[in-house]
């Protein structure tokens, strides 16, 4: 009786460990902090210099709050690289974007021009492969315009953000 009870406890512990490991494996992987691939909807940052003390900054992630935090980090990196110790967001916001991947039935699509001209309609939805899954991915893009500030300009500016404080939090993988 005592050994069966002990075995049950071991089985319960093993099951709990297995479930925890499986759930951890299912958790979404955090996209790396990196430059965004140009011309694509992808994770990462992009920025553009407007003039000597203003930049447009964008960060795209799978999580809205992380996108905002990483946009702020990128703004701090730009300010530091330009020799400024403070910055402020003139404008900022977050937009949601959806990417949908579908597959077309190539056999039907090869005849598309002939059939479309017969009907006078060219609707590609008619040629989607019903057996292929359609996948959707959400992207959150945080974007803003920043002003780079000297310590004198930051004094009395309630929106001024110290570069050192943002950079002290470390890279997104450290958070």
Q: Which domain holds residue 120?
A: 2-174
Whether the CB-CB separation of 140 and 31 falls below 8 Å is answered with no
> In 3-state terms, what secondary structure has residue 36?
coil
How far apart CA 161 and CA 158 sit, in angstroms, is 9
Averaged confidence pLDDT in the chain: 78
Predicted TM-score of the model (pTM): 0.66
**What's the rounded mean pLDDT across residues 70-95?**
97
Closest C-alpha to 60, from 74, 44, 39: 44
Q: What is the pLDDT of residues 85-107, one digit of tens each?
A: 999 999 999 999 887 766 655 56
Residue of 68, 76, 74 lying closest to 148 (CA atoms)? 76
pLDDT single digits (tens) 110-137: 555 555 555 554 565 666 666 777 777 8
The predicted structure's pLDDT at residue 15: 41
Total domains in the chain come to 1
Q: Exposure of 163 by Cβ count < 10 A (0-12 exposed, 13-18 middle, 19+ buried)?
A: buried
pLDDT for 32-48, tens place per residue? 899 988 888 889 999 99
* Vertex 93 angle, CA 141 and 167, to 5°: 75
Structure tokens at 150: 């000297």
Residues 136 and 163: their CA atoms lie apart, in Å, by 36
Q: CA-to-CA distance for 126 and 113, rounded, in angstroms?
A: 12
Q: Which residue has the higher pLDDT, 18 or 71?
A: 71
């Amino acid at each position: 009786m005592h050994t069966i009870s002990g075995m049950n406890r071991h089985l319960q512990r093993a099951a709990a460990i297995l479930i925890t490991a499986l759930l951890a494996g299912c958790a979404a992987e955090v996209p790396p902090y990196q430059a965004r691939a140009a011309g694509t909807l992808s994770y990462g940052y992009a920025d553009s210099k407007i003039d000597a003390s203003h930049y447009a900054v964008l960060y795209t992630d799978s999580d809205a709050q992380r996108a905002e935090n990483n946009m702020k980090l990128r703004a701090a990196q730009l300010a530091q690289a330009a020799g400024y110790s403070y910055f402020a967001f003139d404008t900022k916001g977050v937009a949601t974007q959806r990417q949908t991947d579908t597959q077309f039935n190539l056999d039907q699509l090869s005849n598309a021009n002939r059939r479309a001209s017969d009907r006078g309609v060219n609707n590609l939805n008619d040629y989607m492969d019903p057996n292929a899954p359609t996948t959707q991915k959400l992207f959150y893009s945080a974007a803003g315009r920043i002003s780079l500030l000297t310590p004198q300009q930051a004094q009395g500016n309630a929106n001024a953000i110290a570069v050192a404080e943002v950079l002290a939090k470390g890279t997104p993988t450290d958070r």
